[in-house]
Amino acid sequence: EVREEAVNLCDAWGFTDFELNSVLGRADGNVYPHLLRWAEASSMNSPTTEACARVESLVPAQRSHSKM
């Protein structure tokens, strides 16, 4: 029952996308370009994260060239 009114209930609070840290449900309708920019700016997508460093340490420095 609440699901049908979920958008209206959320909009009633008047939170901005910035306050919600969300690019979904944008008032301007440009969700995908903003979602891409948001993902590109995320520190999780930085090549310097600790997880990336661990993975890179497992990958051999010299790899044979694949035909794929």
Q: Is the pLDDT of residue 57 over 80?
A: no
Count other Cβ atoms within 10 Å, centred on residue 52: 13
Per-residue pLDDT tens for 4-35?
787 788 788 888 777 777 777 777 778 888 88
- pLDDT band, very low/low/confident/very high, at 48 (cuts 50, 70, 90): low
Burial of 35 (0-12, 13-18, 19+ CB in 10 A): middle
CB 42 within 8 A of CB 36: no
